[in-house]
Amino acid sequence: SLPHFIRRYYAQHADSIEAQHGTTRANKYLINTFEKHVLPRIDGVNDRYRLGAVPGVLIDFQGDFARLPWYGKRDLKRLAHRLADCITAEFMNYYQSQVDKHGDISFAVIYAYGRAGWVVSHLNMFAPGWRSYCEMELTDADALRSMARLESPAWWLRRLKRIHDQWREHLMIAAGYVSKKTTPYCSDPALKEWKAQKKSNLEYLNAMELEDQDTGERTSLIGKVVGSVANPAVRRHELMARMRGFENVADDLGLVGDFYTLTAPSKYHSMHNTGKRNDKWNGANPRQTQKYLCRIWARVRAAWKRAGIRAFGFRVVEPHHDETPHWHLLLFMRPEDIDQARDIFCLYARW
């Protein structure tokens, strides 16, 4: 079955076609458009998030993870508590068995953490400290600190919420819900949730005060936040001031500025600029596209370094209408390096 937000979107569209052109036309739309073109994209996205083979302790969670895009806040909280309890029990069982067997507490802690981390790795995520454990650099103290997070429902809730949001938005992108013709830059549910969260945060800040324990003086918390870089307007002004400062430094050093735009190939875009489906789309979400751009930029910087080209400046990320990210870069370098830097940049950007 489909998530209700996608099912409702296409059901309404089919109903509209039926009302205007009749049942036959609506059925053709569902078969020729939805079933042949849209449904395979949705299935491809779901396959990226589904769990594979899991240990016995996670069998009861497979259904929950398959339904994660459908879950609301209460469902996510219940699942977070169950996962925290499950991992805690798994850690304690293996810890106690190793203590009884060898009597070495430090070894038992690391061994039990390894078991817990291995279980977590089957949930399409990694436990805190897992890389250090795999490189045999994890101490027993670090293992206990990592387990404190794994035993916390709050930690699990944040992870589950992230997967839930990414998965749901990825489905929206696959279904064509995010485009110039529908809702550009992000889906409507994502925008509504973001606005609701901003409103909730603002209400909390308005209700809080800061108090000096020595003098008893009080001031509103919202006033401090509005005047800090947490305020987007202040952050933008600070960015512009830094850019002007960089430009002054570049002028003093005899450097020149150059502007670059880095975009992903067509296969990373779910929709064409016209708002029509892109059948070449490889199923990538914005996070995966961002990783691709980071890899290209790393190769460009490495090539510049080999060529003796040094640059500094700013990089900003913007979404296309279909939520695919692209970069804008303002870089300062020596005038004699401009042409070679452009050639290298274009060479790697076109890979």
Q: pLDDT tens per residue, the chain (351 residues)? A: 577 777 887 888 889 999 999 999 889 888 888 888 888 999 999 999 999 999 999 999 999 999 999 899 999 999 999 999 999 999 999 999 999 998 899 999 999 999 999 999 999 999 999 999 999 999 999 999 999 999 999 999 999 999 999 999 999 999 988 999 888 999 988 999 999 999 999 999 999 988 888 888 888 889 888 888 888 999 999 999 999 999 999 999 999 999 999 999 999 999 999 889 999 999 999 999 999 999 999 999 999 999 999 999 999 999 999 999 999 999 999 999 999 999 999 999 987
Residue with tokens 């779910």: 270
Question: What type of residue is 60?
Answer: D
pLDDT tens string 160-196: 999 999 999 999 999 988 999 888 999 988 999 999 9
Question: What type of residue is 246?
Answer: F
d(CA 115, CA 132): 14
Greatest extent of the chain over all pairs of C-alpha atoms, in Å = 77
d(CA 156, CA 163): 11
d(CA 129, CA 149): 10
Tell me how far CA of residue 87 lies from CA of 25, 82, 90, 272, in angstroms: 52, 9, 5, 44
pLDDT, residue 1, reads 56
Residue 329 contacts residue 317 (beta carbons within 8 Å): no
pLDDT, residue 152, reads 97
One-letter-per-residue 3-state SS of 236-291: HHHHHHHHHHHHHHHHHHCCEEEEEEECCCHHHCCECCCCCECCCCCCCCHHHHHH
pLDDT, residue 148, reads 97
Beta partners for residue 329, in sequence order:
260, 315
pLDDT, residue 119, reads 97
Residue 264 contacts residue 326 (beta carbons within 8 Å): yes
pTM above 0.95, yes or no: no
Residue 33 contacts residue 25 (beta carbons within 8 Å): no
**Assigned token pair, 198:** 């901003």
Domain assignments of the chain as residue spans, ordered by start? 56-160, 232-349
For the stretch 185-189, contacts whose Cβ atoms lie closer than 8 Å and that sit 24 or more positions apart, written own/partner, are 185/319, 185/321, 185/323, 186/319, 186/323, 189/5
Residue among 131, 127, 176 nearest 149 (CA):
127
The domain made up of 232-349 has a fold known as: GMP Synthetase; Chain A, domain 3 (3.30.300)
pLDDT tens string 280-332: 999 999 999 999 999 999 999 999 999 999 999 999 999 999 999 999 999 99
